[in-house]
Amino acid sequence: MNALVNRALAFLLLVFVSHAAPLMAKGLSIEEAKQFLHDSGLSELIASLPDSMGQQLDMKRLSVNSSVSFEKTSAAVTHAAKKVDGEQIAMVYLSQDQRAEDLSDAIKFLASPLGQRISTEERAASTPEAQQKMQRYFQEQSFKSVKQDRAQLLEKLSLALNADKVVIQLMKGVYFSVLEAVAVINPNKAAALEARMNQEWQSMEPMLSQQFSEFMLMGANYSYRNLNDEDLSAYITFLKSKPGQAYWQVGVDIVDLYIQGFVSELVSGLSSAK
């Protein structure tokens, strides 16, 4: 309960800070933040968050444990997902983040010829059409058929990207948002629900991590197939650097902030529906 209140207060503070950003900003400028979101691909991730919340959240469990009808629960989830402005959250976060120097260096890398080629390949691989081609590619190609040196580079790249961590963070946040909402709406059921959900997540997480790691490895083989070994080595070096670490951590942080805002709006909607 206290943890949820603290997170709600943190989100409200973030909204307050957004109005004071011109006076308090120590992070990226508006132009730099927009460029970073575009070149890093985070804009696409943020745009996908409302659908992810609606598709992945266990609305039946939320409805039963909050004692709110399924129809009203579904409506509250849809409203909350759309109400939270992920792009605004990201812009405020980037304008206040203390890693501005690291992120500025990341922007420079992304703006370089290699960075632009990487962004182009990653963006092309994220379209629905490309996802279908990727599935066929997986069926036709075995990772074992990749030359050893290239395979080792792809494994290093997959680890350095940390994309699976962002996905797992999103899934975990969506999963436990049910518990956080129930803790406020119907606290009498929260303790038993928490025990069940913790046990379920501990069982699921290793399997999910393994599956996503394998998927990311095959995805890297497809997505970066047009980049040579020298390009991949340079990308790995960047990702392992301090700016590169800040680059992927931003994605995790923004997802977490979006989910905080979502839970706050969801609690409000469910409270009104009871």
**pLDDT per position as a tens digit, 141-165:** 666 667 888 989 999 999 998 888 8
Asked if the model's pLDDT at residue 1 lies above 50, the reply is no
- Local structure of residue 229 (DSSP, 8 states): H
Between the alpha carbon of residue 75 and those of residues 79, 83, 173, 217, the distances in Å are: 6, 12, 20, 37
Write out the two tokens for 72: 């009203």
Angle of helix 163-185 versus helix 242-273 axis, rounded to 10: 30
Angle of helix 86-96 versus helix 242-273 axis, rounded to 10: 140
**Whole-structure pTM value:** 0.79
**Whole-angstrom Cα distance, residue 90 to residue 258?**
9
Share of residues in the chain with pLDDT > 70 (%): 88
Residues whose CB is less than 8 angstroms from the CB of residue 260 and which lie 6 or more positions away in sequence, other chains included = 7, 8, 10, 11
The larger pLDDT score, comparing residue 161 to residue 138, is at 161
